[in-house]
Amino acid sequence: MSSNIGAEAQAAYNKYLDASSIDEKIKRLEEFLSLVPKHKSTEKIVALNKSRLAKLRREQDSEKARVKSISKMVSPFSIKKEGIQVILISDYHTPGVGKTSLLNLLTGAAKEKIGKFTSIPEIGIYEYDKVRYQIVDMPSIMEGASIGIGNGKEIISQLRAADLLCFCVDLSRDYKEQMDLLLSELSKSHVRINVPPPPITIEKSGANKIQVFYLTSESKNNNNIEELTERIREITHAGGIRNAIVRVFGKITLDHIVDTLNSSVVYKKAIILGTKGDLSLTENTFHNLEELYSDKFPLIIGTSVRKKVIPNNFGEVILNHLKKMKVYTMNKGVVAEKPLILDIDPIPTVRDVSIKIHRKFFESFDYAIVIRKDARQLKKKVGLDYELKENDIIELHIK
Ligand SMILES: Nc1nc2c(ncn2[C@@H]2O[C@H](COP(=O)(O)OP(=O)(O)OP(=O)(O)O)[C@@H](O)[C@H]2O)c(=O)[nH]1
Ligand SMILES: [Mg+2]
């Protein structure tokens, strides 16, 4: 190993090489990574060893999952998803931020649990414009949740499946302390907040090598592409993959490669709900909160359960934030009561609707009738590629 990593880090690395169990290897490698000075000349060593660490953690997790599956316990933390799932989270060290109160305001559930410490998830259904949102009031998150403290593993495994996370922050107390804890535990649990997945895919292949392809002009626009290709190969190799096809679609960093190899990394959308906005000085705190976090959180909303303040179109706000829209299907002239939810980006087409309803509609597709209320031509006969707009009504016809 190169000499610019420092004696302490070198010693930690030697201990890692000597370690025999997975747990100890992880501990030593973490120690090593915390000691390595972070600069340009160590960037490669850091990325390589992060990839090794991620591989070891995967091995550790699958061993734990194996042990757990033997014990076959049904956990009150495993929640059956319904509609659009919105999970309320908060910092345990700032108790009573008002999550259960918010759940109750939105859904009417758990009234008797307000003001009492929530130890298992409480669930309610909030409906707006015929769309159902499952609101989950999660027990608050302790320091060390990422390593399992305070049911941390159970809580975080549910967050991984959520459609939206709401960081609930008590505006009458130290907002930064609350945000720091949530951001830190989620980051350690590999939950990335409000960032898109990196523009790279790594797919295991049969070929006996790691092939790298640059598929867009942005990804090719790099003055040292040979060097990057070499790094991708090394990091992928260190992550335990010998044969793979790597596709790069845009500008990437070495950390992106490490994250892509780590199957436990998830990308989640999150908003902040400032709570107790009726208390004194909270207006000021809300502005400070906005100032500090609006780069990372495009949506920050002030609320007060006491004064019943929350956007009255909260469902629409969520749907817009998630970049989703509603359309309606029609069968023999009767419009379905419940809308179908589609992603806005890329623009959805009749094809997406046909696949979502049932593959048979796609495979035997003949034509579709689309009714658009604000269009000049109200009713239109269209094909699979027809682009849809919010509130369109679609009737599919098969051959
Ligand atoms: N002034 C004021 N008090 C509130 C508001 N929302 C909740 N509270 C009070 O804050 C206390 C805690 O509320 P909860 O909803 O139980 O808080 P929680 O986040 O569920 O707490 P844990 O389950 O312990 O994490 C209760 O006494 C609520 O009445 C609000 O908007 N304004
Ligand atoms: Mg509660």
Domain residue spans of the chain: 3-71, 84-195+267-320, 200-252, 323-398
- Ligand 1 neighbours, Cβ below 6 Å, are 90, 95-101, 114-115, 117-118, 140, 275-276, 278-279, 304-306
Distance 117 CA to ligand 1 centre (A): 10
pLDDT band at 221 (very low <50, low <70, confident <90, very high): confident
pLDDT band at 208 (very low <50, low <70, confident <90, very high): confident
Q: Quick one: 184 exposed, middle or buried, by C-beta within 10 A (0-12, 13-18, 19+)?
A: middle
Most confident of 8-17, 71-80, 372-381: 8-17
In ligand 1, the atom with minimum distance to the C-alpha of 118 is 23
Distance 2 CA to ligand 2 centre (A): 52
Q: Tell the residue nearest (CA) to atom 29 of ligand 1.
A: 115
**pTM for the full model?**
0.85
Contact between 245 and 203 under an 8 Å Cβ cutoff? The reply is yes
Contact between 295 and 193 under an 8 Å Cβ cutoff? The reply is no
Higher pLDDT: 307 or 60? It is 307
- Which backbone phi and psi does 118 adopt, to 5 degrees? -85, 120
In ligand 1, the atom with minimum distance to the C-alpha of 88 is 19
Q: Which residues pair with 134 in a beta bridge?
A: 85, 125
Distance 114 CA to ligand 2 centre (A): 6
**What is the pLDDT averaged over residues 341-347?**
95
Higher pLDDT: 206 or 232? It is 232
Fold of 3-71: Methane Monooxygenase Hydroxylase; Chain G, domain 1 (1.20.58)
Distance 95 CA to ligand 1 centre (A): 9
pLDDT band at 61 (very low <50, low <70, confident <90, very high): confident
Ligand number, closest to the Cα atom of 115: 1
Q: Quick one: 143 exposed, middle or buried, by C-beta within 10 A (0-12, 13-18, 19+)?
A: middle
pLDDT band at 224 (very low <50, low <70, confident <90, very high): confident
Q: Provide the pLDDT for residue 3.
A: 58
**Residues 6 or more apart in contact with residue 75 via CB below 8 angstroms:** 154
Q: Provide the pLDDT for residue 259.
A: 94
**What is the pLDDT averaged over residues 2-30?**
89
Average pLDDT, the chain: 93
Ligand number, closest to the Cα atom of 122: 2
pLDDT band at 373 (very low <50, low <70, confident <90, very high): confident
| Architecture label for domain 323-398 | Roll (3.10)
pLDDT band at 72 (very low <50, low <70, confident <90, very high): low
- pLDDT over 90, % of the chain: 82
Q: Provide the pLDDT for residue 1.
A: 63
Distance 288 CA to ligand 2 centre (A): 25
Here the tokens at position 288 are: 């400070």
Q: Tell the residue nearest (CA) to atom 14 of ligand 1.
A: 98
Q: Provide the pLDDT for residue 375.
A: 74
**Half-sphere exposure of residue 200, counting CA atoms within 13 Å on the CB side?**
28
**Total length of the chain:** 399
Q: Provide the pLDDT for residue 322.
A: 97
- Helix and strand numbers, DSSP H then E, in the chain: 13, 17
Q: Provide the pLDDT for residue 75.
A: 78
Using CA atoms, how far apart are residues 347 and 387, in angstroms rounded to an integer?
6
Distance 97 CA to ligand 1 centre (A): 5
Higher pLDDT: 210 or 5? It is 210
Using CA atoms, how far apart are residues 397 and 399, in angstroms rounded to an integer?
7
Lowest mean pLDDT among 200-209, 245-254, 303-312: 200-209
- pLDDT tens for 90-132 read 999 999 999 999 999 999 999 999 999 999 999 999 999 999 9
Q: Tell the residue nearest (CA) to atom 7 of ligand 1.
A: 98
Distance 154 CA to ligand 1 centre (A): 23
Higher pLDDT: 382 or 223? It is 382
Q: Provide the pLDDT for residue 381.
A: 96
Residue 68 has pLDDT above 80, yes or no: no
Q: Provide the pLDDT for residue 377.
A: 77
Q: Provide the pLDDT for residue 105.
A: 98
In ligand 1, the atom with minimum distance to the C-alpha of 101 is 15
- The C-alpha angle 21, 30, 68, rounded to 5 degrees, equals 50
Q: Tell the residue nearest (CA) to atom 6 of ligand 1.
A: 98
Contact between 148 and 154 under an 8 Å Cβ cutoff? The reply is no
Q: Provide the pLDDT for residue 38.
A: 86
Q: Provide the pLDDT for residue 164.
A: 98
Residue 153 has pLDDT above 70, yes or no: yes
Here the tokens at position 244 are: 């793979």
Pocket test for ligand 1, best of 93, 101, 135, 173 (most atoms within 8 A of CB): 101
Higher pLDDT: 76 or 107? It is 107
pLDDT band at 6 (very low <50, low <70, confident <90, very high): confident
Q: Provide the pLDDT for residue 306.
A: 97
pLDDT band at 71 (very low <50, low <70, confident <90, very high): low
Q: Provide the pLDDT for residue 222.
A: 77
Residue 286 has pLDDT above 90, yes or no: yes
- Which CATH entry fits the domain spanning 84-195+267-320: 3.90.1200.10, 3.30.450.40, 3.30.420.40, 3.40.50.300? 3.40.50.300
